[in-house]
Structure 1
Amino acid sequence: MAFIARLPLLLLFCLGISARAEDVPPPTPSADVRILIDVSGSMKKTDPLNLRAPALRLLISLLPADAQASLWLFAEEPKLLLPLGKTDVAWKRKALNSSGRITSNGLFTHIEAALNQASEDWKNATALAGKRHLILLTDGKVDISKEAEKSTESRQRILSDVIPRLQQLGVQVHTVALSGDADHELLKKLSQDSGGSHEAIEAAEQLERMFAKVVSKATPHDTVPLQGNKFTIDPSIQEFSLLVFLGPNAEPTRLVLPNKMEASEIMLLPNIHWRHEAGYDLITVDHPDPGAWELIAKTDPDNQVMVVTDLKLVVKDLPNYLTTGETINISAHFTDQEGTITKDEFLKLIDLRLRHNGEEQALSPDAAKPGYFSTALKDLLPGKHTLSISADGKTFKREINHSLEVVEQLVASKVSVDVATMPQQLIVALTANKDLLDVKNTRIMAKLSNAYGQSTDVAVPGGDGVWTLKLPLPSPQELLTINFSVIAKTLQGKDIKPSVSPLVLNSQTLAQLLAPAPEKAPPPPEPVPAPEKKPEPVKPPPAEPKQAEETHEAAPSGEQSAPESHKTSSWVFTGIAVIVINLIVIAGGWFGYRAYVKRSTAKRQALLNELAPIDTK
Structure 2
Amino acid sequence: MAQALIRLFSRTCLWSIIAVLPLFASANEIFTNRDVPLIDNRFRLDHGIEKITFILYREEGTRAAVLVRPNGSKLYAWDLPENATWLETDEMDIVTIENPMPGPWQAVAENRGRNRIQLLSDVALEVDEIPTQLYFGERLKIAAQLHNRGDKIDLGVYIDEALLSVAVNRTVNIDLRERIRREELAKFYDDGKKFDEVPDDGIFTAVVDVDIEPGKYELVVSTINEVFTRALRQEVFIYPNPVSVKIDAPDDDSNQAVMHMQIDRDELDPSSVIIDGKVFNNVGWEEPFQVFAETDKIAVPLPTPAMHGRYRVGGTILANTLDGRELVVEFPEEDFVILPPPPPPVAPEVLEQAAEAEEPSSPWGMIIGIVFGVLLLVGAVFGFIWWRKRVAFKKALEKARQSEAPAMNGGPEPKMSEGPELNMPQE
- TM-score normalised by length of structure 2: 0.47
* Larger CA Rg, structure 1 vs 2: 2
The structure, 1 or 2, with the larger RCO (C-alpha pairs under 8 Å, 6+ apart) is 2
